[in-house]
């Protein structure tokens, strides 16, 4: 094995199909798995057939601090950030649930932008301007304002 590998971990995001799954809520001695803040969590071991960071047929360990893995079953495809670690000469592949990606954030921003445009259009309408779909503004005359119900 390349000695440089020991100096840094290798990290990537992948879509993987679960071949086998085991969920642990306790340590080997039977005590519950707890965070440093004394909150319970699950450790999930999934086996996959895909090549993960150069290893075929890997077992990936994921700590679940919520209910992110509740729907995971054999045959389900999951998105994971995976990291290959060498701990005392033994190779481990750890996974984590990805954070919101740029695409999802951009979609949220686009939705907010559309919502703000609609609100601006309503405010302009209430202020006496009629905004058409092509963004042309038509000023509503005083006579027309008198017949408005508000």
Identify whether the C-beta of residue 4 lies closer than 8 Å to the C-beta of residue 10: no
| Low pLDDT (below 50) residues in the chain | 1-7
pLDDT of residue 132: 54
pLDDT of residue 88: 83
Domain extents in the chain: 3-96, 102-146
Identify whether the C-beta of residue 33 lies closer than 8 Å to the C-beta of residue 24: yes
Distance CA(32)–CA(20), nearest Å, equals: 23
pLDDT of residue 40: 92
Reply yes or no on domain 3-96 having CATH 1.10.10.
Answer: no
DSSP output for 11-44: EEEEEEE-SEEEEE-B-TTSPBPB-TTS-B-EEE
Distance CA(118)–CA(110), nearest Å, equals: 12
pLDDT of residue 141: 63
pLDDT of residue 64: 86
């Amino acid at each position: 094995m390349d000695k440089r590998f020991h100096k840094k971990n290798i990290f990537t995001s992948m879509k993987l199909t679960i071949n086998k799954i085991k969920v642990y809520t306790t340590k080997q001695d039977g005590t519950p798995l707890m965070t440093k803040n004394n909150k319970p969590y699950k450790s999930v071991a999934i086996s996959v057939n895909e090549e993960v960071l150069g290893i075929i047929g890997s077992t990936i360990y994921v700590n679940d601090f919520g209910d992110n893995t509740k729907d995971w079953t054999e045959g389900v495809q999951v998105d994971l950030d995976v990291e290959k670690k060498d701990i005392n000469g033994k190779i481990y592949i750890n996974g984590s649930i990805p954070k919101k990606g740029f695409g999802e954030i951009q979609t949220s921003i686009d939705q907010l932008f559309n919502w703000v445009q609609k609100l601006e259009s309503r405010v302009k309408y209430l202020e006496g301007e009629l905004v058409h779909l092509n963004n042309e503004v038509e000023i509503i005359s005083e006579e027309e304002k008198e017949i408005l119900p508000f």
